[in-house]
Amino acid sequence: MNDPSSLTTVKVEFFEDKDRTNLTFEHKGWGNSLDWVKARDWHEEQWNAVLNELKQFVESEKIG
């Protein structure tokens, strides 16, 4: 799975929506073996945690 020919990719796009900034997030390139499923599940859990922390940080800041 850590072979350079089988790496996953992450794409993050930010876009303006009225007075907010939203983002879309895509992590792709996963294989189908049990090891890949486990890796994908772990990454999904970690991405959710990181993105929730980012959301809390941004919402707690008084900007402007």
Tens of pLDDT, residue by residue over 31-54, are 999 999 999 999 999 999 999 998
Q: Is 33 helix (H, G, I), strand (E, B) or coil?
A: coil
Neighbouring CB atoms inside 10 A of 39's CB total: 16
pLDDT of amino acid 55: 87
Measured distance CA(29)–CA(8) in Å, rounded: 5
Helices (H), ranges, the chain: 34-60
pLDDT of amino acid 63: 60
pLDDT > 90: what percent of the chain? 62
Question: Residue 53 has which token pair?
Answer: 């922390």
pTM of the model: 0.76
